[in-house]
Amino acid sequence: MTAGALLPALARPARAQDLPTIRVAYLPFSYSAQVLYAQDMGFFKKAGVNVDLQSIAYGAAVATAVASGAVDIGVATITTLAIAHSKNIPFIIVSPAAEYVAAQPATGWLFVGNQTTIQKGVDMNGKTVGTPGLATMGEYGVRAWVDANGGDSNTLKFVEMPFSQMPAAFANGRIDAAFVGEPFISETRKVARPLAREMDTIGAAYVITAWFANAPWVAAHPDLAARFDAAMRDADVWAAKNPAKCIDILALHFKLDPATISPGGLPTFPARMTPALIQSEINMTARYGKFPSFRAEELIYTPPRG
Domain interval for residue 60:
3-101+205-299
| Boundary residue ending a domain (142, 171, 201) | 201
Q: Is residue 268 part of a domain?
A: yes
**239: in domain:** yes
Contact 26, 250 (CB under 8 A): no
* Residue 245 in domain: yes
Write b or e for each residue in 149-181: b if 16 or more Cβ atoms lie within 10 A of its Cβ, otherwise e: bebebeebebebbebbbbbebbbeebbbbbbbb
d(CA 269, CA 15): 30
**Last residue of one domain, picked from the residues 201, 216, 245:** 201
Same domain flag for 7 and 97: yes
Do 194 and 220 reside in the same domain of the chain?
no
Predicted confidence at residue 303, as pLDDT, reads 85
Residue 25 lies in a domain: yes
Nearest alpha-carbon partner for 109 in 192, 204, 46, 179: 179
Write the Ramachandran bin of 232: left for phi over 0, alpha for psi from -120 to 50, otherwise beta: alpha
Q: Which residues pair with 148 in a beta bridge?
A: none
Residue 304 covered by a domain: no
For 28, which DSSP code? S
- One-letter amino acid of 29: F
Q: Give the count of beta carbons closer than 10 Å to the beta carbon of residue 124.
A: 29
pLDDT tens track of the chain, all 306 residues? 444 444 443 444 455 568 999 999 999 888 889 999 999 999 999 999 999 999 998 888 999 999 999 999 999 989 999 999 999 999 999 999 999 888 877 667 899 999 999 999 999 999 999 998 888 888 999 999 999 999 999 999 999 999 889 999 999 999 999 999 877 888 999 999 999 988 888 888 999 899 999 999 999 999 999 999 999 999 999 999 999 999 999 999 988 888 888 787 788 999 889 999 999 999 999 999 999 999 999 999 998 775
- Alpha helix stretches (DSSP H) within the chain: 33-41, 43-47, 59-68, 78-86, 137-148, 166-171, 185-188, 215-220, 222-241, 243-254, 279-289
Out of 143, 173, 201, pick the residue that ends a domain: 201
Q: Are residues 118 and 182 in the same domain?
A: yes
The verdict on 120 and 52 lying in the same domain is: no
Could you tell me if residue 305 is inside a domain? no
Neighbour count for residue 226 (Cβ, 10 Å) = 27
Q: Are residues 89 and 150 in the same domain?
A: no
Q: What is the CATH number of the domain that holds 122?
A: 3.40.190.10
In this prediction the pTM is 0.82
Instruction: Give the pLDDT confidence score for residue 243 in this predicted structure.
Output: 94
In this prediction, residue 3 carries a pLDDT of 43
Regarding whether 29 and 46 lie in a shared domain, the answer is yes
How many structural domains is the chain composed of? 2
Does residue 64 lie within any of the structural domains?
yes
Q: Is 1 helix (H, G, I), strand (E, B) or coil?
A: coil
| 218 and 80 within one domain | yes
Give the number of other CB atoms < 10 A from CB of residue 254.
20
C-alpha 267/C-alpha 60 separation (Å) is 21
Please tell me whether residues 29 and 153 are part of one structural domain.
Answer: no
> Is residue 306 in a domain?
no
Residues contacting 148, CB < 8 A, separation 6+:
121, 201
Residues 6+ apart with CB under 8 A from 235: 33, 34, 35, 37, 38, 41, 43, 269
Q: Nearest-CA neighbor of 240 among 78, 34, 48?
A: 34
Quick one: which of 210, 188, 170, 203 has its CA closest to 85? 210
Let me know whether 127 and 94 are in one domain: no
Same domain, 51 and 186: no
Q: Indicate if 231 and 176 belong to the same structural domain.
A: no
- Residues 38 and 52 reside in one and the same domain: yes
- What value does the CA radius of gyration of the chain take, rounded to a whole number of Å? 19
